[in-house]
Amino acid sequence: MRNLLSIADLTNDEIEHIFELADSAPKLGADNPATGQIMATLFYEPSTRTRLSFESAMHRLGGAVITCPDMKASSAAKGESLADTAKVVSSYADVLVVRHYWDGAVQAMAEHADVPVINAGDGSREHPTQTLCDLYTLRKEKGEIRGLTVVVCGDLKNGRTIHSLVFALARFGANVVTLAANGMELPQYVLERLEREYGYSLAPVASDDLTGVVTETDALYLTPKQPHQLALFTQLDAAMQTRLSTMVSGLRYDAFYMTRKQKERMKEGTTGGSYPTIGPKFLKEERFKDTVVMHPLPRVDELSPEVDKDRRGIYFKQAAYGVPVRMALLKFLFEQRDAKKTTAKKNANSYESPERLGPQCTNGNCVTVTEPRSTRRRFDLLSGGPSGALLLACSYCNHRFRVQFVGNVRSKHYCGYDIALADTVKDWFKKKELAIFDSIKEAEELGYEPYKSGPQRIIMDESEIQNALREMSQEILRDCQDPDRLLILGIRTKGSYLAQRVAAELEVDQKRRIEVGEIDIYGSADEIRRISSAYEDSPPISLKDREITLVDDVIYTGRTVKSALSIIFKAGRPQSVRLAVLIDRGHREVPVKPTYVGKHIPSSERERVRVKLREAERDEKDKVVIYSLISPAEARAERVG
Ligand code: NCD
State percent of the chain over pLDDT 90: 59
Model confidence at 206, pLDDT cuts 50, 70, 90, reads: low
Distance in Å, CA 232 to ligand 1 centroid: 36
Band (pLDDT 50/70/90 cuts) for residue 228 is very low
Instruction: Count Cβ atoms below 10 Å from residue 419 Cβ, excluding itself.
Output: 17
CA of 43 from ligand 1 middle (Å) equals 12
Q: How far is the CA of 427 from the centre of ligand 1 (A)?
A: 44
**Band of the pLDDT at 205, cuts 50, 70, 90?**
low
Distance 439 CA to ligand 1 centre (A): 38
d(CA 74, CA 105): 16
- Give the pLDDT mean for 157-170: 96
- What dihedral angle (degrees, nearest 10) is formed by the CA atoms of 226, 232, 233, 239? 0
Strands 486-491 and 515-519, bridge-based pairing: parallel
Confidence (pLDDT) at 229: 44
Q: Does ligand 1 come within 6 angstroms of the Cβ of 129?
A: no
Atom of ligand 1 nearest to the CA of 99: 3
Q: What is the pLDDT of residues 525-579, one digit of tens each?
A: 778 989 876 666 678 888 888 999 999 999 988 888 888 988 888 888 888 899 9
Residue of 161, 257, 266 to mutate, ligand 1, most atoms within 8 A of C-beta: 161
Q: What is the mean pLDDT of the segment spanning 102-128? A: 97
Greatest CA separation for the chain = 83
> What does the pLDDT read at residue 218?
64
Q: How far is the CA of 158 from the centre of ligand 1 (A)?
A: 11
pLDDT at 341: 54
pLDDT band of 231, cuts 50, 70, 90: very low
Q: What number of other Cβ atoms are within 10 A of residue 385's Cβ?
A: 22
Backbone angles phi, psi at 350, to 5 degrees: -65, 130
pLDDT band at 233 (very low <50, low <70, confident <90, very high): very low
496-529 tens-digit pLDDT = 999 999 999 999 988 888 999 999 888 767 789 8
Pocket test for ligand 1, best of 45, 50, 317 (most atoms within 8 A of CB): 50
pLDDT digits (tens, 9 = 90+) for 430-449: 999 999 999 888 898 899 99
162 C-alpha to ligand 1 centroid (Å): 10
The answer to whether residues 115 and 1 touch, using CB atoms and an 8 Å cutoff, is yes
> Which residue's CA lies nearest to atom 12 of ligand 1?
260
Edge-first strand listing for the sheet containing 38-43: 64-67, 38-43, 95-100, 117-122
Instruction: Collapse the DSSP code of 326 into the 3-class scheme (helix H, G, I; strand E, B; otherwise coil) and give the result.
Output: helix
Give Cα separations from 432 to 352, 353, 427 (angstroms). Answer: 9, 9, 9
In the predicted model, what is the mean pLDDT of residues 318-331? 98
> 260 in ligand 1 pocket by Cβ < 6 Å?
yes
Locate the ligand 1 atom nearest the alpha carbon of residue 120 and give its number.
Answer: 7
Q: 92-105: per-residue pLDDT in tens?
A: 999 999 999 999 99
**Rounded Cα gap, residues 396 and 81, in angstroms:** 16
Confidence of residue 641 (pLDDT cuts 50, 70, 90): very low
Instruction: Reduce the secondary structure of 146-181 to three states and give it as a string.
Output: CCCEEEEEECCCCCHHHHHHHHHHHHCCCEEEEEEC
Q: What is the DSSP string of 44-94?
A: SS--SHHHHHHHHHHHHTT-EEEE-S-GGGSGGGGT--HHHHHHHHHTT-S
- Distance, CA of 513 to CA of 511 (rounded, Å): 7
Res 493: pLDDT: 86
Which atom in ligand 1 lies closest to the alpha carbon of residue 260?
12
Residue 504 contacts by C-beta under 8 Å, 6 or more apart in sequence? none
Least confident of 194-208, 250-264, 445-459, 509-523: 194-208
Pocket test for ligand 1, best of 54, 106, 118, 130 (most atoms within 8 A of CB): 130
| Better-scored residue on pLDDT, 7 or 532 | 7
Q: Are 294 and 256 in contact (CB under 8 A)?
A: yes
Q: How much is the pLDDT for 618?
A: 76
